[in-house]
Amino acid sequence: VRGPVCNQDLRTGKLCPVCAAKLKAGIITELDYELMKAVNRLANRKFLISTEIVRAFELDNMAMVFAKGNVGMLIGKQGKNIKELEKALGKKVRVIELGKPPKEVIEQVLGRAKVVAVNRLFKPEGEELKALVEEKAKKRIAASKQKTEEILSKVLKIPVEIGFSQ
């Protein structure tokens, strides 16, 4: 499985100078490393050849795992792999499929909240996405809104702002 930490490090059990530098610079986090170690211990990891783990972030005490390619294989039959990963990480795991339209990615991150629209804004400092989320989700999202925006901006590679529709 491809991911934010190279395979060699999973074999040797320690980070190579390149990955260690990325960790130090904050390009990857301990959670990325812990997740990759846990994925490497999955019983069916050999089927993950066409799955790529892009990043993992902690949000609301959950590990949000952003993946590409064969994401279903990462989830496993009836979420079997997710359960194993949750046990290893000691927290809930949500797998989010990247490579889908931003609206779908944002909805997956927000959980049950409906995204009404995603608009591309052109500002002097560059493009950004403005996601309009249904008003009734406002209270639930409020506390983690900023963190959610930061995570979405990183994985979608464009600044993301969350607003609420009337």
Which pairing describes strands 160-165 and 126-134: parallel, antiparallel, or unpaired? parallel
Site string for Zn ion, 100-119 (x = CB under 5 A): --------------------
Nearer to Zn ion, 19 or 106 (CB): 19
Scored b (16 or more CB within 10 A) or e, 61-93 reads: eebbbbbbbebebbbbeeeebbebbbebbeeeb
Q: For Zn ion, which residue of 1, 10, 19, 82 counts as binding (CB under 5 A)?
A: 19
Q: Residue 24 CB, nearest distance to Zn ion (Å)?
A: 13
Structure tokens at 5: 């930490």
Q: Which stretch binds Zn ion (CB under 5 A): 10-18, 27-35, 93-101, 123-131?
A: 10-18
27 binds Zn ion (CB under 5 A): no
Q: Rounded to the nearest whole angstrom, what is the least distance from the CB of residue 32 to Zn ion in the complex?
A: 11
User: Which residues are paired to 146 by β-bridges?
Assistant: none
| Under rule CB under 5 A, residue 32 binds Zn ion | no
The pairing of strands 62-69 and 51-59 is antiparallel
Point out which residues bind Zn ion (CB under 5 A).
6, 9, 16, 19
